[in-house]
Amino acid sequence: MKSGFFFCVLLSLLAQLSQAQYHYQNLMNYLESRMAAMEERIALWHEQNNRYNSDIKKFRQQAADLLEKLGRDHEKLRQDLEGAGVRVDRVEREMDYIETKNIPKPCVKVADKTVEQKAVEKQQKKKDQMFELTVCDQIVSNIRAMKILKRLGSPKGIWTRDSRTAKIYVFNGTSEDTLYEFSTVKELSTSSGLSTGKQITLPSAWNGTGHTVYDGFLYYISERSELQVIKYNLENSSVVDRAVLPVQDNMSVYGLNPETLVDLFADEEVLWALYAVGDTINLAKMDSDTLDIEQMWDTACPRKNAEAAFIVCGTVYVVYNTRPPSRSRVQCVFDVNEMVMGGEAPLLYFPRRFGAHSSLKYNPVERQVYAWDDGYQIIYRLSLQKKLWALVPPPEE
């Protein structure tokens, strides 16, 4: 009886041992398959890693070859540019030589009578008629020097100096309601930006690059429903007066500066305004106190290819250029007294610069022009000589 019981227990143990051995074998088979899969992945990773390393070596070699080729091309391009610069300088020298040998006739509007005839006729008039002429009796003979002060602001703008207060005013861009005041030219030249100057906010936006400052007053163009000249007191920040200009089609006064519809200039005597009528530039003489228009002239100077102008002693000098910009030149001169002859009117070439003038403002005290050229603030110093009529002896009492 006992032997049968032990035999049954032994059979049960053998069955459990056989089942455990079966599960153990299955587990080992599973582990072996997983290890084999991992070995395959590791082998694949090694293969890919070797391929990537090989690709990286090829890429490095190709990059090195390409950089070497780019270096050779850069050196060749630099040499070509140097050669082109030498050729351009040679062409410019030849053009300067040709310009001196073949000077184009300046566009000057004068009366049919000669200066001598006018002098004889004026001797027969009253002495007070002589004072109808502008007091200033000089004409520009040469641009004797150029000074580049700095580069500040937009490609187009204005900077000018009040002849009375000597303060500097900067108009950045072609349309804004803010301008900047600096005490001196040195303060502007040493400034780090416009924000260092005194900011002046106007009651209305200014348009174009034709504004001027004189004796503490700002004269600026504002384009609303109509074109206006506004006189603004910079001391007490108030509008003194305003006037509507007789401009019909709102055409730009200069063909190469379409933003400027009117160009203003102020001096000891009057306020001058240049504006467009048809294809030519017209001039208006205005009372600087009341903004009344006192007289108007057709200068006969064409708008086409004009970029800017300035006025010295009642004589308008219109500056022309090309597109793309080259050397600016004064090629049209108009004297309000018709006392500048064609042979006397200068054909002035400006020194080589960066682009094209957006504004030219003459300071009669310093005899120099404040110019804005592609964001650069430039000073041109002028040489003056007496007009021919000023050399005629005065009439006898």
Looking at the 3D structure of the chain, how many domains does it have? 1
- Please tell me the least confidently modeled range out of 102-116, 192-206, 364-378: 102-116
pLDDT band at 385 (very low <50, low <70, confident <90, very high): confident
Instruction: Give CA–CA dist 208/126, Å, rounded.
Output: 43
Tokens of 377: 């603030």
Q: Is residue 142 domain-resident?
A: yes
Q: Is residue 170 domain-resident?
A: yes
Q: Is residue 331 domain-resident?
A: yes
Cα first-last separation, the chain: 174
Give whole-number Cα distances, 358 to 106, 157, 281, 372, 394, in Å. Answer: 22, 6, 16, 6, 41
Residues whose CB is less than 8 angstroms from the CB of residue 212 and which lie 6 or more positions away in sequence, other chains included: 160, 218, 219, 264, 265, 266, 271, 361
Looking at residues 227-242, what average pLDDT do you find? 94
Tokens of 71: 């270096």
Q: Is residue 67 domain-resident?
A: no
Give the model confidence (pLDDT) of 327-338 as tens digits. Answer: 899 999 998 887
Looking at residues 242-259, what average pLDDT do you find? 88
Residues whose CB is less than 8 angstroms from the CB of residue 243 and which lie 6 or more positions away in sequence, other chains included: 228, 229, 286, 291, 292, 293
pLDDT band at 161 (very low <50, low <70, confident <90, very high): very high
Q: Which domain holds residue 182?
A: 106-391
Strands 107-109 and 329-335: parallel
Give the model confidence (pLDDT) of 183-229 as tens digits. Answer: 999 999 999 889 899 999 999 999 999 999 999 999 999 987 788 99
Q: Is residue 70 domain-resident?
A: no
DSSP single-letter state for residue 362: E
Q: Is residue 365 domain-resident?
A: yes
Please determine, for residue 93, whether its predicted confidence score (pLDDT) is greater than 70: no
Residues listed for the chain: 397
Count Cβ atoms within 10 A of the Cβ of residue 375 and give its class: 0-12 exposed, 13-18 middle, 19 or more buried.
middle
Q: What is the CATH number of the domain that holds 241?
A: 2.40.128.630
Instruction: Give CA–CA dist 375/147, Å, rounded.
Output: 14
Q: Is residue 217 domain-resident?
A: yes
Q: Is residue 235 domain-resident?
A: yes
